[in-house]
Amino acid sequence: MNELRLPDGVRMTSQRRAVLQAVAAARGSFTVAELHERARAREPRLGLATTYRTLDLLRQTGAVHALHGGERPVYVRCGPRHHHHLVCTSCGAVEDTDLCAAPPEAEVRRRHGFQPSAHEVDIYGTCRRCAA
């Protein structure tokens, strides 16, 4: 997994470090509230707003990805290589796949006159363990 860092020019504080450490220790997906709770074990004065903002900084670096398919946003650690997420709606497990579910760029251009530059696809369903 790629190392967690803040975007260039953003100062590291002890509160932000606590959030980074909590993200680094996270297994599977987590909500902001869960992350806040864990990071507060190190930094008792850490606020929820700071947790949110720090998580947002990590999204800017690509180290964290937000999953929007559930009732509440859930976050997972992420990496720079091209991949998508398989999200189990039963147990919450998140698995990476290098299968790409996006339409070919040429097809998007032809049908919509739109030049794609990036895409995000998360696939929701039932994982192997829950299906068994």
Residues of the shown chain interacting with Zn ion in the complex, contacts defined by CB under 5 A? 65, 78, 88, 90-91, 93, 100, 102, 127, 130
Closest to Zn ion by CB, 42 or 95: 95
User: Which residue carries 């794609």 as its tokens?
Assistant: 116
Rounded least distance, CB 39 to Zn ion, Å: 21
Closest to Zn ion by CB, 44 or 117: 117
Rounded least distance, CB 14 to Zn ion, Å: 28
Rounded least distance, CB 130 to Zn ion, Å: 3
Rounded least distance, CB 92 to Zn ion, Å: 7
Closest to Zn ion by CB, 29 or 54: 29
Structure tokens at 52: 């949110």
Closest to Zn ion by CB, 10 or 92: 92
Could you please report the per-residue DSSP string of 52-96?
A: HHHHHHHHHHTSEEEE-SSSS-EEEE--SSS-EEEEETTT--EEE
What is the distance between the alpha carbons of residues 57 and 49, in angstroms, rounded to a whole number? 12
Could you please report the per-residue DSSP string of 10-29?
A: PPP-HHHHHHHHHHHH--S-
